[in-house]
Structures are given as C-alpha cells and as structure tokens.
Structure 1
C-alpha cells in the first residue's frame, strides 16, 4: 500500500462513497414501493417544465448556484382512499433534469390511462414507475472496481515513479513537483481531447432555429477569502436560448456574466449581447440522442481544446525543465 496520508484516500474516494449511499437509499425506497397498492390514473398534463436546480459552484460563498434545466412535467390524477389526488413524480429514481425528457413525454402523453402506485400511509406520495433501472448495481460494481483500481493504482504508480526519478535527478527533492506538473498537464490534455471530441460530434447534430433570452439580475456572494472573511458581493446575469426539437420545446444556458458591481455586470453583458442580442434568432445544434443537450457554437467549443492543449504543453515543459535543469 502506498504510504500516503489517509486524508488523500478519503478525498479521492468520497464521491464514490456518496454515490453508493445514494444507490442504497434508492434501492430501499424501491423495495418499500413494491408493497404500495396501485390504482388507475389519468395523465392531465404532459409538457416540458423549466426548473431551477442547485449545482456545485466553488466560486460562490454557499458552494452552489441555481441552474435552469428541462424536466418532463407529467401530472396525473388518481383516487386513493376515496380522495382525488394529483401527482407529478414519474420514477423512484432521482431526476436531475435534461435527461430522457422527450422519451418520458412520449411514454405518458396527456389523456393516457396509467397505473399509479401510492404510499398507503401518505396517499399523496405516488409514482408511475417503482423499479430502479435494470443493472444499476452491476454498473455501480464495475464502476467502483474501476475507480478503486485507478485511485490505488495511481497512488502506487506515483510512489514508484517518485523513487525512480529521485535516483536520476540532480535535485531529488523536486521529484514530487515534476510528477505533479506532468500529471496535471496529462489530465488537462485529456480534457482537451474530450472537448474536441464533443465539439466534433456537435458539429454533425441537426440544426434547429432558436431565440436568445436574458435572465434577470442576480446578487450573490463570492467564495470566502483565505483569511476567512466573507466573499465579495457579486452581480450577474444568465443568457439562455430556447428551441424546439420534434415538437418539444427546450431552454438552455449559453453564458453567464458576473462582476463586482451592477454597472460592471451590465457592461460585460452588453459585450456578450453584441454577439447574442436579446431576442435574436440563432442556429442551435441539438443532440438527437438527448434533445435537452444543445450548443450554439460547436466550432468555438472545438477551438477551446487547443487552449487546453497549450496549457498542458506549458505544464509538461515546466516538468521537463525542472527534471533536467534541477529547478
């Protein structure tokens, strides 16, 4: 076992642990729902709904921000214990938005008759699907094995590479820095390849007409300073666009602007709107496999890969310089 602090392993494995805990909770909920009684229901609304979802953001004081995402809003009526109720939860699984929106709407169109499973203790809690996705635990098991192999394999490889470099460098104490620079450059390069591949795929997506929209001004606090003081008060806006694909409407975010004052934010917004003015018609590249995913400038995203590769080259060059010149 590599001789690394336990905190390093805890930080690397924490995301995996959270995913496994969430899977256990959802499995328990699915097993409990198997005993729920069922009744006939009718779908009264089946449309796309734009909701705000909290997502992690290290640049903000509270560590999160609101992001608009598309959801399949399927509202159904049913009768339980003599009461006429309404629900809009489709599955036991967690829905974070922008996923299988069109498929869900097509599966549950307005006016269709559905089977509703409801909690006998709380009849207002109901779902249309009470099973978890097939193969969930098999995928999690394989994914966990891969993550563990990467984490411990990388740690072991880091130790071995450190020992090897220490024997061949004029300044053995710089071995850790050389490995760190090289590893960071390698990771950035991989991100560049991923961005380039995504942009290449997006350039072949079908193009649909869309419209630019600008959201209202928002106020928030930036991340706390190193001294522990409160973050800077910030002002920002979101620029989004709407489009339709196969008669289903979607909304996506194309940019955010933020500054330390409302006037500075407005100036930045005006520069952005010189390219995407409010109400302007735009061409939207839509992912046919998941229409909630789209892009306005696929070629621009591809060019960003070259920026990432340039950054990667700088880190690799710094690692080579430190290894050959001794710092």
Structure 2
C-alpha cells in the first residue's frame, strides 16, 4: 500500500462510504416494505411540477440555498379500512428531482388503477414501488472496486513517479513539487475535457422555445467569518426559464445575481438583463434522454474548457521548470 497518511484515504473514500451507508438504509427500508399490506388505488393527479429544494451552500448563514427542480407529482388515493387516504410518493428511493419526470408521468397517468403498499403503523405512508432498482448492489460493488483501483493505483503511480524523478532531476528534494504540479495539471486537463465533451453533446440536443422569468428579491446573510456575529446581508435574484418538451413543462435556472445592497443587486441584474430579459423568448437545448436537463448556452462551457486547459498548461510548465531548472 502506498505510504500515505490514513486521513488522506479517509477523505478519498468518504463519498463512497456515504453512498454505501445510504444504500444500506434504503435496503433495510425496502425489506420492511415487503411486509406492508397492499390496497387497490387510483391515480387522481399526474402532472409535472416545480418544487423548491434545499441545496447545501456553505457560503450562506443557513447552510443552504433554494433551487427549483422538476418533479413528477403522481397523487393517488387508496382505502384503508373506512378511510380514504392519499399519497404522492412513488418509490422507496429518494426523488431528488430532475430525473425521469416524463417516464413517471407516462407510467402512472391520471385515472389509472395502481397497487398501493402502505405502512400498517402509519397508513398515510405509502409507495407504488417497494423494490430497489435491480442490480443496485452489483453496481455499487463494481463502483467500489473501481474506486479502490483508482485511488490506490494513482497513489502507487505517484509514488513510483516520485521515486523515478528523485533519481533523475538535479534537485531530488523538489521531486514532490514536480509530481504535485504535474498531477494538478493532469486533473485540471481532465476536467476541461469533461466540460468540453458535455458542451459538444449539448450542442446536438434538440431546440425548443423557452421563456425567461425573474424571481423577486431574495434576502439572506452570508456565512460569518471567525469573530463575526453575523455575515453580510445580501440581496439577490434568480433568473430561470421555462420550456415544454413533449407536452411536459419544465423549469431550469440559468443565473443568480447577488450584492450587499438591493441597488447593487439591481445593477448587476441590469447587466445580466442585457442578455436575458424578463418574458423574453429564448432557444433552449433539451437533453432528450432527460428533458429536465437543459441549457441556453453551449459556448460558455467551451470557453471554460479552454480556460481549464490553460491552467493545466501552466501547471505543466511549472513542473517542467522545477524539474529542469530547480537547481
């Protein structure tokens, strides 16, 4: 095993650990739901809707911000004893929004008869699908193996590179710096490749008309710095756009502006409004595989990719400079 501090491995594997814990919890919930009684129900509402979802944001005092996401609202009614209950949860898995909205609406249209599984201790808690996705643990197992291979393989490769450079550059004590610059440059270059690849895919997505909408003033406080009682009060607005794809309406966010004063926020908004005016019609490129994903601009990500490649080139140049002239 490469000689790295234990906390480095802990940081690298923390996201994977959280995924595994979540999978264990959901598996336990699915096993519990297998014993739930069932009832015949009817879908009374099946529409796409936009909900405000909390998203982690360490720059805010509250620790989160609100984000608009698209959901399939499938509401169904079912009898339990003499009572008629309603629920709109489809499966045991968590619905984070912006995923399979059209598929869920097509699967559960209004008026369709469905089998409802409800919690006998809390009959108002119910689902239409009580099984986890097939192959979940197989995918997690493969993902875990890949993660271990990448982490340990990369660490081993960096160690070998360090050992090689330590014997082939004028200043062996600078070998770690050369490896660090090179590794950072490589990772940033990969990020640029990913951004450009996604932008090129988005450029081929079908185009539909959309409408720009502006939110009202959003007031919040920034996260406080050490020694401060409270962070700076901020004023902001969100710029969103709505569009329809295959007779389903979606909403996405394209920009946020904020400033320390309301007038400052308005000034920034005016600059943004030169491009996006309230009520203006815009061209929206929609991902046909997931219509909740869309974009107004495909050239911006390409510019970001070139910027990332430029930064990667700087790191590469620094690595070469230190390796050849560090002494």
Q: Distance in 2 between matches of 1:216 and 1:142?
A: 46
Aligned to 1:30: 30
CA 1:324 to 1:142, structure 2 compared with 1: closer, same or farther past 3 Å? same
Q: Which structure 2 residues correspond to residues 106-255 of structure 1 after superposition, within 5 A? A: 106-225=106-225, 227=226, 229=228, 230-255=230-255
Please list the CA deviations of residues 24-78 of structure 1 after superposition, one character each: whole Å capped at 9, or x if unmatched.
Answer: 0000111110111110111111111111222233433454322111010111111
Q: Distance in 2 between matches of 1:20 and 1:76?
A: 32
| Residue of structure 1 in register with 2:52 after alignment | 52
Runs of 4+ in structure 1 displaced over 6 angstroms?
none
What is the DSSP-based 3-state SS (H/G/I as helix, E as strand, rest coil) of the residue aligned with 2:284? strand
State the partner residue of 1:292.
292
TM-score if structure 2 supplies the norm length? 0.95
Query: CA 1:312/1:138 → structure 2, altered by over 3 Å: closer, same or farther?
Result: same
Distance 1:306 1:23, change over 3 A: same
- The structural deviation recorded for 1:300 is 2.7
CA distance in 1, matches of 2:8, 2:76: 48
| Aligned CA-pair RMSD | 1.6
Q: Secondary structure at the match of 2:159?
A: helix
Partner of residue 309, structure 1: 309
Q: SS at 2:275's partner residue? A: coil
List per-residue Cα deviations over 1:122-143 (Å, max 9, x = no partner). Answer: 1000000001000000000000
How big is the shift at 1:301? Answer: 2.2
Matches of 1:157 and 1:231, distance apart in 2: 44
Matched, 1:270 2:247: no
Q: Distance in 1 between matches of 2:298 and 2:134?
A: 34
Q: Which moved more, 1:83-92 or 1:232-241?
A: 232-241
Change (3 A) 1:174 1:259: farther
> 2: CA distance between counterparts of 1:246 and 1:291?
9
Gaps of at least 5 residues in structure 2 are none
Q: How many residues align?
A: 326
Distance 1:123 1:208, change over 3 A: same
**What's the secondary structure of 2:167's corresponding residue?**
helix
Q: What is the rounded CA distance, in whole Å, between the counterparts of 2:184 and 2:258 in structure 1?
A: 28
Q: Which residue of 2 aligns with 1:42?
A: 42
Distance 1:61 1:206 in 2: 40
Q: Corresponding residue for 1:5?
A: 5
Q: Hey, what's the Cα distance between the residues in 2 that align with 1:295 and 1:203?
A: 9
Pick closer, same or farther for the CA change 1:102–1:264 going to 2, 3 Å.
Answer: same
Against the structure 1 CA distance between its residues 157 and 207, is the aligned structure 2 distance closer, same or farther, given a 3 Å change threshold?
Answer: same
